[in-house]
């Protein structure tokens, strides 16, 4: 379900897509503003599940920590978009090779990892 695309073609700042912790909120704002990756992620329907979104930077950190604890390797394409826009024309990405984060031009294609929330009780 991983794919690669640009974050957005328009360099304007998207209101509501700046949360470091709430990827779902960011993704909804991105989709409303016409982001191709957000629109594609929100259209996913997998076995009746359709609540996918793009992780925030903090959510990527949690996924990365879980993968490292399980001994998983990130592979060669280790950079993934987050749902957080950092400035006009730039958004954050997570690098699973290094565990770090950075910023990239939103018109550059990069991997996208759709996720969904699951209540664990």
Q: How far apart are CA 120 and CA 99, in angstroms?
A: 25
The pTM assigned to this predicted structure is 0.94
| Distance of alpha carbon 44 from alpha carbon 115, whole angstroms | 10
4-13 residue pLDDT tens:
999 999 989 9
**Helix, strand, or coil here: 67?**
helix
Query: What's the confidence (pLDDT) of residue 63?
Result: 94
For the chain, list residues with pLDDT below 50: none
pLDDT number for residue 79: 96
10 Rama class: left (phi>0) / alpha (psi -120 to 50) / beta: beta
Is residue 4 classed as helix, strand or coil in its secondary structure?
strand
Calpha distance 26→84 (Å, rounded): 6
């Amino acid at each position: 379900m991983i794919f690669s695309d640009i974050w957005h073609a328009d360099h304007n700042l998207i209101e509501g897509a700046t949360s470091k912790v709430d990827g779902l909120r960011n993704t909804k704002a991105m989709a409303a503003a016409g982001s191709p990756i957000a629109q594609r992620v929100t259209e996913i329907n997998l076995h009746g599940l359709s609540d996918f979104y793009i992780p925030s930077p903090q959510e990527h950190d949690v996924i990365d920590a879980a993968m490292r604890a399980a001994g998983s390797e990130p592979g060669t394409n280790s950079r993934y978009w987050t749902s957080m826009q950092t400035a006009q024309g730039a958004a954050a990405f997570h690098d699973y090779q290094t565990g770090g984060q950075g910023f990239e031009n939103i018109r550059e294609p990069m991997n996208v990892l759709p996720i969904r929330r699951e209540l664990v009780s």
